[in-house]
C-alpha cells in the first residue's frame, strides 16, 4: 500500500462530501477519529449502504432515500505531513485497531505499539470493515485467548484473510485534510 501525490481516493456516504470536517467524524474507528477513504471504488460504493442506514437512524437522511454518493479526491501530500503505513495486517496493526475500538485497551497495549503511529497525520493500512467485524469482536472479547498471546493474534489475523482486505486511508488532522482536493461526487443507488 502506498500513498503518493496524484493518486485518487474515494469516500462513500449518504451525501456528497465536498467540504471535509473532522468535527463530523466519530471516535472508535480502526485508525482513530478521522476522515476515511479507499483506493477501491467498489469498497467506497459498498460503504454507502452503511452510511445511509446510520444517517437514517440519526435523522440526517429521509427513510425513503435509496441512494448515496462516492466523493473522489486527488492527493497532494504537503512536505512535513507525517504518514504511517501498515504494510500488512500484523500484530501491531491488530493492536492499533484494538486500542482505537476499545479505549480501555490503550493502557494494556501501551509500550507495545510504536508511539509515533499516534502522532501521524495520515494512517494507511488494511481495512477492518463490517465483514471482518465479527472476527475483531471475538478477538477483543478474548474468544481466541488472551489478546496479547501470539496464538490469539495469529488466529485472528488468519481468520481475517488479510490477503482479501482492501486498503483504507485515514486523514486524522486538518493538515492532512488540506492534502485532499475534491474532484467530484457521483450518485449510486443502494
Identify whether 2 is part of a domain. Answer: no
Identify whether 184 is part of a domain. Answer: yes
Identify whether 1 is part of a domain. Answer: no
Identify whether 26 is part of a domain. Answer: yes
Task: Identify the weakest region by mean pLDDT among 65-74, 131-140, 142-151.
Answer: 131-140
Is pTM beyond 0.85? Reply is yes
Identify whether 58 is part of a domain. Answer: yes
Q: List pLDDT tens digits, range 27-57.
A: 888 899 999 999 999 999 999 999 999 999 9
Q: List pLDDT tens digits, range 115-146.
A: 889 899 999 999 876 667 888 889 989 999 99
What letter would DSSP give residue 46?
H
39-42 contacts: CB < 8 A, separation 24 or more? 39/7, 39/8, 39/9, 39/10, 39/166, 39/167, 39/169, 40/10, 40/166, 40/167, 41/10, 41/70
Q: How many domains does the chain have?
A: 1
Residues 105 and 97: beta-carbon distance below 8 Å: no
User: Alpha-carbon distance 55 to 101, whole Å?
Assistant: 21
**Residues paired with 99 in a beta bridge:** none
Identify whether 46 is part of a domain. Answer: yes
Structural domain containing residue 46: 8-189
Q: What is the pLDDT of residue 181?
A: 98
> Across residues 81-105, what is the average pLDDT?
90
Identify whether 3 is part of a domain. Answer: no
The three-point CA angle 75-79-85 to 5° equals 65
User: Alpha-carbon distance 84 to 4, whole Å?
Assistant: 13
H or E element that contains 91: helix 91-101
Amino acid at each position: 500500500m502506498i500513498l503518493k501525490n496524484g493518486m485518487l481516493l474515494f469516500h462513500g456516504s449518504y451525501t456528497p462530501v465536498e467540504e471535509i470536517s473532522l468535527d463530523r467524524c466519530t471516535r472508535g474507528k480502526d485508525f482513530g477519529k478521522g476522515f476515511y477513504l479507499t483506493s477501491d471504488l467498489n469498497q467506497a460504493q459498498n460503504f454507502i449502504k452503511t452510511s445511509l442506514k446510520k444517517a437514517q437512524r440519526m435523522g440526517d437522511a429521509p427513510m425513503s432515500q435509496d441512494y448515496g454518493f462516492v466523493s473522489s479526491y486527488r492527493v497532494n501530500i504537503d512536505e512535513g505531513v507525517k504518514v504511517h503505513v501498515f504494510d500488512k495486517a500484523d500484530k501491531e496493526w491488530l493492536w492499533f485497531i484494538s486500542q482505537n475500538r476499545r479505549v480501555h485497551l490503550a493502557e494494556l497495549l501501551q509500550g507495545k505499539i510504536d508511539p509515533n503511529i499516534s502522532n501521524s497525520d495520515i494512517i494507511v493500512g488494511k481495512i477492518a470493515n463490517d465483514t471482518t467485524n465479527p472476527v475483531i469482536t471475538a478477538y477483543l472479547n478474548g474468544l481466541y485467548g488472551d489478546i496479547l498471546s501470539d496464538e490469539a493474534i495469529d488466529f485472528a489475523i488468519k481468520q481475517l484473510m488479510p490477503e482479501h482486505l482492501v486498503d483504507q486511508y485515514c486523514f486524522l488532522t486538518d493538515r492532512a485534510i488540506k492534502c485532499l482536493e475534491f474532484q467530484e461526487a457521483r450518485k449510486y443507488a443502494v
